[in-house]
Amino acid sequence: MLESTFIHLPNFGPKKEKKLWDSGIKTWNDYLEHFASSRFHRQYCTTLAQSKCALNSNDPNYFANVLPNNETWRAYPHFSKTAYLDIETTGLSGDRDHITVVGIFDGSKTMSYIYGQNLDDLNKDICNYDLVVTFNGSLFDLPFLRKNINGIAIPSLHIDLRFLLSSMSITGGLKKIEQKFGFEREDDLKGLNGYDAVKLWRKYRKNNDASALDKLVRYNAADIENLKKLLDWAYKEKKKEAGFC
């Protein structure tokens, strides 16, 4: 899909892009072959040549800069190093509260970073990813991380599933959306919410309760492991919605 994306060109929107596809110009290569000799298309051809170079050199920062925020889904799955990320905190204030658990799912395994144990490892590990996927991360998770971990290099290419799904009239919290899709959680995690996560952390810290920490880590992992399923579905549906077949 990314190699058929033209909305990052000046004065290009979805309708103009769809019209281009319908005319038979479906990829960057098609456009360059068709218009390379036209001086009227020189700026567009230059941008598309830069896009080809960025994709071939695996440069996610380029696409983070040129794609509109609501269109970054087009970069998936062209960048395979994807971090599905979610955080737990002691509260909602980035000034007064702190991170307790950060979970990263890479599509096959989950890594958990825990305050007081291995949270410092997050800073070096997250640099290995090209793309970060969250649910409401643009408003909460990512600003909170930047506020609490100095110099953290979060991938600039970001897909926020809350807003991607909302653009398809799928709204509500993550747990509500999971229920719509028939996703199940472990029995002892069903019905838990963000405040329960705060209470589990308090119980762990007050009583050194390993079972409370285990439950918190599993709750966090459940939040991220379903993000890939939701993104896989949304990617296919957004391609159809855009009119690209």
Segment 188-216, tens digit of pLDDT: 888 888 899 999 999 999 999 999 999 99
- Per-residue model confidence (pLDDT) at position 240: 93
- Rounded to an integer, the average pLDDT of 115-126 is 95
Structural tokens at position 225 = 């492991």
- Within 13 A of 34's CA, how many CA atoms are on the CB side? 13
Across all residues in the chain, what is the average pLDDT? Answer: 94
Residue 41 has pLDDT above 80, yes or no: yes
CA dihedral 154, 155, 161, 162 (to 10 degrees): 40
pTM of the model: 0.93
- Name residue, tokens 């909305």: 7
pLDDT band at 114 (very low <50, low <70, confident <90, very high): very high
Structural tokens at position 59 = 């440069």
- Rounded to an integer, the average pLDDT of 89-116 is 92
pLDDT band at 245 (very low <50, low <70, confident <90, very high): low
Query: What is 70-106 written as a DSSP string?
Result: GGGGGGTTT---EEEEEEEESSS-TTT--EEEEEEE-
- Per-residue model confidence (pLDDT) at position 96: 87
Range list for CATH 3.30.420.10 in the chain: 82-235
Domain 82-235, CATH among 3.30.420.10, 3.40.50.10090, 2.60.40.10, 3.30.110.30? 3.30.420.10
